[in-house]
Amino acid sequence: MNKITIFLKKTLKALLWIIISVVLLIIIVALLLQVPSIQTKVVNYATSYVSNKTHTKVELKKISITFPKSVLIEGLYLEDLKKDTLLYAGELKINLAFRDLFDHHIHISSVGLENISLKVDRSENDSLFNYNFLLTAFSDSTKKDEPTTKEKSSWIVSVDDVSLENIRIKYNDQYGGTNFKGSLKNISLKMNELDLANSVYKIDELLVDNLSADILITSGHISDKNSESVLPKIIADKIEIKNTKLIYGDSINKQSLIADLNRFKLKDGAVDLQKQTVGVNNISLSKSNIRFNTTAKVINDSIVGAVDPANTNNWVVAVKDIDLENNAFAYMVMNKPEIKKVFDADHLDYKKVTLKAKDLSYSTSKTEVEIKKFNAIDQNGFAITKLETKFSMDEHSVTANKLKIKTRNSSIDGNFDLHYSSLKSLKDSIQFMVVNADMKKVSVTNSDITYFSPDLAKQAFFKNTKNVTTVSGNIKGPINNLSGENVTIRTGVNTIAKTDFKIAGLPNIQTATFSFPNLILNSGKTDIVMMAGPAIPKSIELPEIISMKINFEGQIKAFETTMGMSSSYGTARVSAKIDKNENFRSKVDITAFDLGRLLKNKEMFGPVTLTASTTGRGFDKKTIKATVQAHASQIYLNKYSYHALDLDGAIAGQQFEGKISLDDPNAAFDFDGLVNLNPKQEQYKFNFNLKGADLQKLNITKDDIRIGLVA
């Protein structure tokens, strides 16, 4: 930015110096002579004088002076010492307020330039520009004492209106490291104030048409002198730029900016580069293309934290209204490989970008904006069709109120608010971040999720790219004490989860405490297969419909819960309690649950109705100790329904000791004893009384065989 500013100031000063020098010379002559023929002779003398003084070629085709204010110059040609063109002016028309000259005021009411060619350069090893010979030729050679303080010129220069047509400028500064090449079809400029001494430029109206500019920054010589110049302050009532192409290249930082501006408008704006402030009432851009290319840099630990105070970003920006219509923006990190068909933060290329926003405010401490309308399509065809929100972000919070986002397949409608002590604290203290998410309706398609997180596509749930998941409800509180109200999640064909909840102790899931007092979950075979995929054994067939009511309190490994389940296979009710020492207590009630349909074997298995309870400790099959009581009023096995099966015993590892009895009309037995299958402890000690069994009715044999046994 400093190089560009210096370049602009030097170019402007060079132009003004050349023009003013010639104009002043002509003005003096014009005051003396008003006869055209005499004017021409004097001009010829003047050009000869300048040529002889500078030892360069100077030509002037025609001059016309209309006293007291108009000067018209045609065909001004000036060479540099290398006999290259320094300046050619096809036509230069200036209207001056001559009387102001007596007050040391050069007041140019209007200036018009047509067919101008300016070439400024300096070589890599020479700090002097090619126009320096003019300064040397006309400078006072008398040695003067250096002033102790800087004295400002007593002359005041002001310009009201400027009109430029067909302008070509080449600025090749190899020594300083700036190369500029530009051409212009038309510029119309109306100034309110031009204060070169204080670098204040007040523009009434600036209209630019067909500007082409190419800027390249290279590693030139760095001046040892500290620049004390004041950076410009530009105030503009109206700026309009059309059909303009700008190319900016930085070979030092390996960056480039290419901008094709179809139409750019600005109203009531002010930029103060010295104070780093921008204020604009209205800014608009339409049908334009802007592309920024950069390279990823490797950060050297030795330079981390070494910040140049001169480059400190303290910008304050305020824009009342922003209107972007049908533009294209691209951001490319050129030394990173592009990832196709997914979101790639290093390669962003958006088309059809439309934005209507108001009250944009940016500073290093806070950013605010109200987005009324936004839509865009990226290089992969992913489209944001709608975005509305009132956004705010500062050092301690991020807020998106009245957020409405739509893509082709997903949508978000809600209010979202995050609070934190600082952005740095999120790395180590995320548990203290406060969340307030009022989700009216969040509807997300799997294809949109995997577009931003492609690794999720490997999971079974996301293989169905068309699946839609919707979430509504309110989630609030710090991460380590989170609560949810009226939270509803829908996904798949008919999966619905509704609940309130409280979770304390996140983000550590293993030690966090969960409270789900009223979780209602409805799902079925199709959705469970979609979610779990290959984790479901092929030997089972899930129910088409499953409904559950769950109450859960506790941690992952220490909790108390009750669950009621109904399904197309039957019903069940489970209650369980587990503590941190693996002590557990549970009770199960199953009513007419079709085990045959579950195990895909209706010939062998069928409905089961039973109640069971357990109390014990441990979950390792080698060390578990528990007591078990169970009563089965119905067990369908091999096409026969057994009734009245009871079990009462104790389990220790792989050992069972207790009683089992069956009192069915066609089969009855009593078992009382011990069976130990623990390795190297095998033992069998029991009494078994088979009171009777009708093997034909039990579908064990086709013949009428009845047996009894005591062992």
Residue where the block lists tokens 């294809």 = 447
Q: Compute the average pLDDT of residues 12-25.
A: 62
* 688 belongs to a structural domain: yes
* 576 belongs to a structural domain: yes
Beta strands in 67-104 (DSSP E): 70-79, 85-96
Give CA–CA dist 628/645, Å, rounded: 13
| 277-286 and 289-294 beta bridge pairing | unpaired
In this predicted model, what pLDDT tens digit does every residue of 325-344 receive, in sequence order? Answer: 999 999 999 999 999 999 99
* 703 belongs to a structural domain: yes
pLDDT value, residue 663: 95
Give the least confident one: 14-28, 93-107, 674-688. Answer: 14-28
Give CA–CA dist 245/672, Å, rounded: 96
Which whole-number Å values give the CA distances from 594 to 47, 550, 586, 700, in the listed order? 112, 22, 22, 21
* 301 belongs to a structural domain: no
Name residue 6's amino acid: I
CA 306, 310, 311, 314 dihedral sign is positive
Which whole-number Å values give the CA distances from 672 to 64, 396, 649, 675, 683, in the listed order? 131, 70, 9, 10, 14
How far apart, in Å, do the first and last CA atoms of the chain sit?
101
- The two three-digit tokens of residue 559, written as one number: 């909790």
Q: Using an 8 Å Cβ cutoff, are 233 and 274 in contact?
A: yes
35: pLDDT confidence band, cut at 50, 70 and 90?
Answer: low
pLDDT value, residue 22: 59
* 692 belongs to a structural domain: yes
- The mean of the pLDDT values for the chain is 88
- The two three-digit tokens of residue 119, written as one number: 């070439």
Q: Using the 8-state DSSP alphabet, how is residue 430 labeled?
A: G
Q: What are phi and psi of 23, to 5 degrees?
A: -65, -45
CA 248, 249, 250, 253 dihedral sign is positive
Q: Is the pLDDT of residue 290 over 60?
A: yes
156: pLDDT confidence band, cut at 50, 70 and 90?
Answer: confident
* 664 belongs to a structural domain: yes
The percent of residues in the chain predicted with pLDDT above 90, rounded, is 67
- The two three-digit tokens of residue 234, written as one number: 């530009």
Give CA–CA dist 13/167, Å, rounded: 17
pLDDT value, residue 7: 61
pLDDT value, residue 106: 76
Q: Is the pLDDT of residue 307 over 50?
A: no
pLDDT value, residue 126: 84
Number of other residues whose CB lies within 10 A of the CB of residue 140: 6
- The two three-digit tokens of residue 329, written as one number: 């923006």
Angle between helices 36-54 and 2-32 (to 10 degrees): 130
Give CA–CA dist 583/560, Å, rounded: 12
pLDDT value, residue 54: 76
* 215 belongs to a structural domain: no
3-state SS, residue 331: strand
Q: Is the pLDDT of residue 21 over 70?
A: no
In this predicted model, what pLDDT tens digit does every residue of 596-638 receive, in sequence order? Answer: 999 999 999 999 999 999 999 999 999 999 999 999 999 999 9
143: pLDDT confidence band, cut at 50, 70 and 90?
Answer: low
Q: Compute the average pLDDT of residues 516-541.
A: 92
Give the least confident one: 275-289, 417-431, 487-501. Answer: 417-431
* 629 belongs to a structural domain: yes
pLDDT value, residue 484: 97
Give CA–CA dist 344/346, Å, rounded: 5
Number of other residues whose CB lies within 10 A of the CB of residue 338: 12
Q: Using an 8 Å Cβ cutoff, are 414 and 437 in contact?
A: yes
Please tell me the total count of domains within the chain.
Answer: 1
- The two three-digit tokens of residue 645, written as one number: 């099966």
The residue ranking higher by pLDDT, 506 or 150, is 506
pLDDT value, residue 83: 86
Look up the pTM and report it: 0.82
**Long-range contacts, 700-703 (Cβ 8 Å, 24+):** 700/638
Q: Compute the average pLDDT of residues 495-502.
A: 97
CA 174, 180, 181, 186 dihedral sign is negative
Q: Using the 8-state DSSP alphabet, how is residue 102 labeled?
A: G
- The two three-digit tokens of residue 181, written as one number: 């090449």
- Determine the structural domain holding residue 641 and report its residue range: 569-710
The residue ranking higher by pLDDT, 24 or 267, is 267
pLDDT value, residue 305: 42
Q: Using the 8-state DSSP alphabet, how is residue 556 labeled?
A: S
